[in-house]
Amino acid sequence: MSGGPGNWRASVQAGMFLRSFLLQACWSFERMQGLGLAYCLEPWLKRLYGAENRRLAEALARHMRYFNTQPYMAAFVLGVVARLEHSAAAQPEAAAGIHARIDTLRASMGAALAGLGDAFFWGALRPACAALAGALALALVCAGLPVSCAAFVAAGGYAAAFNTPALWVRWKGLSLGYEMGEAVVVELQRWDWQAKLFVLRKSGFLIALGLCAWLVTGQGGGGARILSRVLLFSGCLAMRWTRLSLPRAYALLVLWNLAGALIP
Amino acid sequence: MTEWHWVTLPGLCAATALLELDSVRVGQWMVSRPICVGPLLGACLGDVEWGFMVGVMVEFLTAGDLPVGASLPGNGAVTTATTLLLSCSPLSLPGAAALPAGLLAGSCFSRLETVWRERLRALTHVAEARAARGQAVPFGRLVLAGLGVHACACALFLYCAVVLLEPALRAAWSASPETLRGALEASLRQIPLLGAASLLFALRPR
């Protein structure tokens, strides 16, 4: 591995990367990802403190405190914390100050990265991948592929499109966090997340718009049927706009159809 | 109760619960998303096409849900699995009856999940007590306990939901007037529009 102090090796990074998949295994309302963070850092802390059980236990206890962020972005925090823990282990006289710094960074970086990661991964990438998978399935079925094949291709495409950037961020976040320490925040600003977010959302929106157009107009029927579907679609959009929960939105749809059947 | 109830259904519930771990507890590789669960469960039940249709519909409907912090939106995997287990199996309930039941089950599961999320703080307390005494923290066992509680609760919930809902829905379906059944069937045909509207709303320019 390049950059960063100490004996950070690819094997350590790989161990932390694998453990980061279990960051939320013990998620609870009280500490959220606190226990998971300590679990991810354990191999590195063992390497730093070796047989010193007392110092290792103290370090683990410190990391079990409250922590929460977006799970993929947690890799950056893990990298930075690992670097600072290395500094604390190397300079016992300055350890108290570094530990206080770690606590502050965990909270501040966690919150900032959560906002960024939630908007990017949950708010843009996941729905964009869903739109892409829907469009892919539709295109494959229109091209004559059986629905069962198109289903698996679309599901695989969805998982691949989402996981490629997600896994990359998880891996790169660890090494960058460790190499750059607190300066990783500056590096993250250079990545221009807002522009990527905008492109992703816009592309996803256009694909979703195409799907909507196909659903409304591409299923045959005369002008009256298309108009009724447009009206229904507008109603559905209004229901989502008012943040109606799914079961309620569905109940309203049933009521609408019931009223249509009962009112001559 | 048939062999389906004693062997196949528990097996499928357990498999779905293991997949569902991906939603929060393990990985977040998106294999627990309805678009993946639908075709997989559909293939196990012998109808990939219906599995995919349900999966895509629920995926679009839940695309904008943000699993942020303590917020628990309706569970897409449980919604898809309940719908498919009720409709695309020897139980063969009409999709128009199974889908609302699935939506309800997904919503209820999320509310119930808060109970064991609350209880799982005990794992942190165990780890803290061990660390305070200077002893090794048994992370492996704690992680397994966290995953085990979630998977068992999910499998049990799915099994109970299917077993309890099936006779109730069957009776309600046959007793309900033709108009209501027609409205439910029309809603099932229209739900792709609601799904597409949800997806468009999730990706709207901000």
Q: pLDDT tens, A99-145?
A: 999 999 999 999 999 999 999 999 999 999 999 999 999 999 999 99
**Using CA atoms, how far apart are residues B137 and A60, in angstroms rounded to an integer?**
8
B201 with A237: Cβ contact below 8 A? yes
Q: How far B109 CA sits from the closest chain A CA (Å)?
A: 13
- pLDDT at position A247 is 84
- Among B124, B130, B173, B176, the strongest candidate for a mutation testing the A interface, having the largest count of A CBs within 10 A, is B124
What's the pLDDT score for residue B69? Answer: 66
Model confidence at A4, pLDDT cuts 50, 70, 90, reads low
Of B51, B197, B206, the CB nearest to A236: B197
Does the pLDDT at position B197 exceed 50? yes
Is-above-0.80 flag for pTM? yes
Q: Measured between alpha carbons, how far is residue A205 from residues A64, A130, A198, A213, A234 in Å?
A: 40, 11, 10, 12, 16
- Name the residue among A133, A209, A254 with its Cβ closest to that of B183: A254
pLDDT, averaged across chain B = 92
What is the spatial distance between Cα B134 and Cα B172, in angstroms, rounded to a whole number?
Answer: 60
Query: Taking 60 as the threshold, does the pLDDT of residue A243 lie above it?
Result: yes
Which residues does chain B have within 8 Å of residue A122's beta carbon, measured at their own beta carbons? 66-68
Nearest CA in chain A to B114: A29
Contact A233/B193, CB-based, under 8 Å? yes
Q: In Å, how far is B171's CA from the nearest CA of chain A? A: 19
pLDDT at A3: 57
Q: Could you tell me which residues come within 8 angstroms of residue B101 by beta carbon, excluding any fewer than 6 positions away?
A: B82, B83, B86, B93, B161, B165, B169
Q: Report the distance separating Cα B37 and Cα B51, nearest Å.
A: 8
Inform me whether the pLDDT recorded for A230 exceeds 80. yes
Identity of the residue in A35, A126, A254 whose CB atom sits nearest the CB atom of B124? A35
Residue B187 to chain A, least CA–CA distance (Å): 6
Q: B41-72: per-residue pLDDT in tens?
A: 999 999 999 999 999 999 999 998 887 766 78
From CA A199, how far away is CA A239, in angstroms rounded?
26
The number of beta carbons lying within 10 Å of the beta carbon of residue B204 is: 15
- Residue B38, pLDDT > 90, answer yes
Give the Cα-Cα-Cα angle B37, B43, B48 (nearest 5 degrees): 85
Residue with more model confidence, B117 or A204: A204
State the Cα–Cα distance between residues A110 and A69, nearest whole angstrom: 5
Q: Given pLDDT bands bounded at 50, 70 and 90, which one contains residue A214?
A: very high
Nearest CA in chain A to B75: A246
Q: What is the pLDDT of residue B90?
A: 81
Query: Is there a contact between B50 and B189 (Cβ–Cβ < 8 Å)?
Result: no
Most A CBs within 10 A among B31, B32, B35, hence the mutation to make, goes to: B35
Predicted pLDDT at A51: 66
B128 vs A contacts (CB less than 8 Å): 61, 64
Q: Which residues of A touch B189 (CB under 8 A)?
A: none
- Whole-number Å distance between alpha carbons of A163 and A165: 6
* Nearest residue of A to residue B66, measured between CA atoms: A122
Q: Note the pLDDT tens digit of each residue in A57-67.
A: 999 999 999 99
Q: Please name which of A194, A188, A196 lies closest in space to residue A80, comparing C-alpha atoms.
A: A188
> Is the pLDDT at A5 greater than 90, yes or no?
no
Mean pLDDT, to the nearest integer, of B123-149? 92
Percent of chain A with pLDDT over 90: 69
Cα separation, A175 vs A81, whole angstroms = 12
What is the average pLDDT value for chain A, to the nearest integer? Answer: 91
CB within 8 Å: A127 and B134: no
| Nearest-by-Cβ selection for A261 from B28, B147, B182 | B182
| pLDDT band (50, 70, 90) for residue A241 | confident
Are the Cβ atoms of A237 and B197 closer than 8 angstroms? yes
- Judge: B117–A27 Cβ closer than 8 Å, yes or no: yes
Whether the per-residue pLDDT at A2 is higher than 60: the answer is no
Which residues is A28 bridged to in the sheet?
Answer: A32
Cβ atoms of A61 and B153 within 8 Å: the answer is no
Above 50 in pLDDT, residue A191?
Answer: yes
Q: What are phi and psi of A144, to 5 degrees?
A: 105, 5
For the stretch B91-125, pLDDT in tens is: 789 999 999 999 999 999 999 998 888 888 899 99
**Angle (CA) A20 A26 A29, round 5°:** 115
Dump pLDDT digits (tens) for B149-193. 999 999 999 999 999 999 999 999 999 999 999 999 999 999 999
Residue type, A82: A
Mutation target among A20, A24, A26, A121 for the B interface, most CBs of B within 10 A: A26
Residue bearing the bigger pLDDT, A5 or A238: A238
Whether A131 sits inside 8 A of B120 (CB atoms) is: no
Of B25, B130, B205, the CB nearest to A25: B25
- Chain A closest-CA separation from residue B39 CA (Å): 6
B69 Ramachandran zone, left/alpha/beta (phi>0; psi -120 to 50): left
